[in-house]
Amino acid sequence: MEETVGCARVTSTVTGEEPTSTPEPQPSERKEPTMTVRVGQKAPDFTSPAYYKGGFTSVKLSDFAGKWVLLCFYPGDFTFV
């Protein structure tokens, strides 16, 4: 089936019967770390693998302490916008 080529990244979906053997996760396991960022609050620090000027390296936000940082998330490489 032909799909519309849009900006949304399509992903896979599991089809067929629902697995019955999977136990319901316990409330304690289901708990996600819910971090909410807000202006005026400290930016969460992170380390990520990165591509930088022809090489593979890692980048750590706090390495740029003392500078202004423009942090830009985007949906994916080779998307249209």
Binding residues for another protein restricted to 40-79, rule: CB under 8 A: 40-46, 48-53, 56-57, 59, 61-62, 64-79
Footprint (CB under 8 A) of another protein, residues 1-30: 6-11
How far is the C-alpha of 76 from the C-alpha of 81, rounded, in Å? 9
CB of 5 to another protein, least distance (A): 12
What is the spatial distance between Cα 33 and Cα 24, in angstroms, rounded to a whole number? 19
Sign, Cα dihedral of 74, 62, 37, 47: positive
Site residues for another protein per CB under 8 A? 6-11, 32-33, 35-46, 48-53, 56-57, 59, 61-62, 64-79, 81
